[in-house]
Structure formats: structure tokens, C-alpha cells
Amino acid sequence: MGTVAKSSITLVSISDAYSLSLTPNSCVIKADFDGSNPKLEHAYTIISAYCGDEKTPIEIDSSTIIKSNDNIECQLIKVDSYRYRLSIISLPVDILQGYIEIPVLSGVSAGLTGRFTFFYCTRKYHAGLDSRLGK
């Protein structure tokens, strides 16, 4: 008996979804009792985007950045075609937490938005926490 029909199907995995990476996506900023002298050396994130598993070039317009408080000052530096560094350079003493939203353009016209969050931790808070922990 001969073969009447023969066929095969080849399945190929396609991953073309865009994703945004903020590394880290949040930070804790320590400060004195009254909120002064914030330690901002680690208050930054590296922003990059991927199409599937591949890094993709991105563009960020600093004028489109949204801050939870208008008095938060940040700096945006383009590291290369694939990465930006967003740093918090100044904070008002009267806020305890907040965020910075970053709209990112990547690929053909993919609009992505990332949110970098922070928590402002004063020594007053540390003292209260330490006393509750018996330190």
C-alpha cells in the first residue's frame, strides 16, 4: 500500500512582546530625624526594554516624566542606545514615599511606562523600629 498524503507542521516559538525593566524598581532612602541629609547615592534605577529576550533601543523624553511630588528632582542620563539611568537628586523633607513614572518609547511605536518607587526612612523611624525590636 502506498502513501496517499504526507505532511508535517513546524512550530516556531515567537516572542515579540515588549517589556520594560527597571533595575532596581524601588529603593529606601535613609535620612536624619527631621528628614534632612537624605542618602541618595543608591536612589537610582537603570531602565531598559526588551522585545522578547532581545534588548531593544529606547528613547525617553525627560519632559514626559511624572513625579508624585513636583518638588522631587531627578536626573536622566542616557547610558547607551539600550539603557537610561534615572537618579533622584533632591527630595522635600516632608514626604515619606513617592514614585517617578517614566514613559518609554521602544521599537516601532511601543509605548511603555515604568514606575520607580521610593520610601523615605528617617532616623526617627529607625529609632522607633529599633525600640520595638529591643535594640
CATH number (3.40.50.2000, 3.30.470.10, 2.60.40.1080, 3.40.50.2300) of 18-132 reads: 2.60.40.1080
**Angle at CA 42, nearest 5°, toward 94 and 133?**
65
Report domain extents, the chain: 18-132
Assessment of whether the complete model's pTM goes beyond 0.85: no
Say what the pLDDT of residue 134 is. 44
Q: C-alpha cell of 79?
A: 547610558
Per-residue pLDDT tens over the stretch 9-25: 666 656 678 889 999 99
Say what the pLDDT of residue 36 is. 80
